[in-house]
Amino acid sequence: MSAGEGSKELVERMLAGDTLALPRLISLVEAESEAVVDIMRRIGPHTGRAYCIGITGPPGTGKSTLVDKITAVLRERELSVGIVAVDPSSPFSGGALLGDRIRMQQHYLDPGVFIRSMATRGSHGGLPVTVQGVIKLLDASGRDVILVETVGVGQTELDVVNATDIVIVVLTPESGDAVQAMKAGLFEIADLFAINKADREGAPRMKAELETFVAMKPGEPIPIMLTQAHRGIGVDELYEEVERRRRVQEEDGELERRRRQRRREEFLEMLQRKVRARFLDFAEKDDQLKELTERVAAGELDPYSACARVLDDRQWLGKWLIQGG
């Protein structure tokens, strides 16, 4: 059976509600299998229904606990949930260091919740490059809400904007003041702030500082919520605010604009990765290009001139396009 035939059967099974087909399809996407093109083509008409919530912020702010409690709120409302929990990559295996069973034990046996841990695999944007495909699969499988928790790497969490419909930035009173949040670029990506562990000293001060900075930003003010996720306090109110923001997004067309931008960015980023991989493969085989590379490495030719020489040579580019694949 060909890869296309196998992926067709798996997609049909997933769409029919087979719970075993979904993780197998996700594994194919994570491995960047040749079947991914066929999988994405087949699930395309079944996507666009789930609402995707990104949860990001510095390490130690309680993002996993917040995801766990939001999931409980969603299940109380009889909404099905997909969770993508991104973990640091293991330096030995490349896999996720933390397992989904450890992080979300109370939801593991709930058929209305699907949890997948993913490793960053060297990505510097807080999310692995294959996360968009995994989100699409969860969407096509019929999940009402998808929660994406980023790895928590501080100042490089920006991928989450291009992967989700709304971004919750989680901070804590002891994680630093609002100025640090601004320096990390979190004001640029936040649709909503959650000051977690708000029972700790400094929470009111941090909320006041955030409100000051938020007031200076044009557009609708960013809501700032106080939560104590470990106690379940403020989580219902947080999700109510998410729902309010969703209604506003739908009414003013922002949700569709955001999704159009996301699809555009996904295509261009994927094209860039594929072209780069194809060119590097060609560079290893083409003697003329290898010689040029060695001249640059030896300092005989500067990289700018070498690059111009390659890009200006149509014959060379044509040979790459024909042979590089």
Q: What pLDDT is stored for residue 109 in this prediction?
A: 78
* Helical segments of the chain, H only: 3-15, 21-30, 36-43, 63-76, 100-103, 131-140, 178-183, 186-189, 203-216, 235-252, 254-285, 287-297, 303-312, 314-323
Q: What is the pLDDT of residues 298-323, one digit of tens each?
A: 999 999 999 898 888 777 777 776 66
Q: Which of 201, 229, 252 is the last residue of a domain?
A: 252
Question: Domain for residue 258, yes or no?
Answer: no
Question: Domain for residue 151, yes or no?
Answer: yes
Q: Which of 252, 286, 314 is the last residue of a domain?
A: 252
Q: What is the pLDDT of residues 42-72, one digit of tens each?
A: 999 999 999 999 998 888 888 989 999 999 9
Q: Taking 50 as the threshold, does the pLDDT of residue 155 lie above it?
A: no
Residue 303 lies in domain: 263-323
Q: What is the pLDDT of residues 65-116, one digit of tens each?
A: 999 999 999 999 999 999 998 875 443 334 444 444 455 667 777 889 999 9
- What CATH number does the domain containing 197 carry? 3.40.50.300
pTM of the complete model: 0.86
Question: Domain for residue 113, yes or no?
Answer: yes
Q: What whole-number percentage of the chain has pLDDT above 90? A: 49
Total domain count, the chain:
3
Q: Which of 220, 252, 284 is the last residue of a domain?
A: 252
Q: Let me know whether 205 and 107 are in one domain.
A: yes
Q: Let me know whether 14 and 113 are in one domain.
A: no
Q: Let me know whether 20 and 74 are in one domain.
A: no
Of the chain, the end-to-end C-alpha distance in Å amounts to 24
- Stretch 125-153: mean pLDDT: 85
